[in-house]
Chain A
Amino acid sequence: DADVTQTPRNRITKTGKRIMLECSQTKGHDRMYWYRQDPGLGLRLIYYSFDVKDINKGEISDGYSVSRQAQAKFSLSLESAIPNQTALYFCATSDPGQLNEKLFFGSGTQLSVL
């Protein structure tokens, strides 16, 4: 089983709909992240969480919200989806305390907003 699991793998929705993307991990890491990937732009950080009570905005948080339900679960919501939120979304985790900490990624959720 994957250490970082994202659901759904693919989602097509309409403009204005509320969408939730879910992420769960079995690595026991405190830190969790949501990124979006767009062609030619690389990965950009949406939100990150250092523990259940610590939520922080990343560089492109407008139009998104998150919930850290437990150490292992971190969900991303689009309150009212718009077409330019069409992208590949990745959840990631990391183990804190090291400058060389590496990220562990899920397989991604491809979201299309029509």
Chain B
Amino acid sequence: AQSVAQPEDQVNVAEGNPLTVKCTYSVSGNPYLFWYVQYPNRGLQFLLKYITGDNLVKGSYGFEAEFNKSQTSFHLKKPSALVSDSALYFCAVRDIDTGFQKLVFGTGTRLLVSP
């Protein structure tokens, strides 16, 4: 079965510094990878996706993610963090083993950006 792992429960970064939220995946075949963000008291919002093509994917709010096939990783990045980026971030992979290609989510990483 397809799966993703988010090895860090929490990431702390100072405002203005670059941030990275890590995700590794395990899939059979081509990976379809996603990042979602959850702000306090809100549902998850789509940030970006990787299907095929360029390894650097750009998304909403200045975020980008780097797909690395050899390391089976799909890390989320931002050059300069904002306090408003503080949220819960989920990596997800589309499970193509079943007839229904559902999304399988990681356990989430809480990002705290300090002023």
Interface residues of A (CB under 8 A from B): 4, 40-45, 48, 56, 58, 90, 92, 99-100, 102-108
Contact = CB atoms under 8 A, between A and B. Distances in A.
Interface range on chain B (Cβ under 8 Å from partner): 20 to 34
B90 A4 contact: no
A108 B43 contact: yes
A58 B106 CA distance: 16
A44 B3 CA distance: 12
Nearest to A105: B43
Interface of B (DSSP majority class): loop
Contact of A103 (B9, B44, B51, B101): B44
B32 A107 contact: no
Given A99-B51, A102-B49, A48 B102 contact: yes
B43 A40 contact: no
B46 to A, nearest CB: 4
19 contacts: A4-B43, A40-B107, A41-B107, A42-B90, A42-B106, A43-B90, A45-B102, A48-B102, A56-B100, A58-B102, A90-B43, A99-B32, A99-B51, A100-B32, A102-B49, A103-B36, A103-B103, A108-B41, A108-B42
Contacts of B44: 43, 90, 92, 103, 105
Contact of A100 (B42, B51, B106): B51
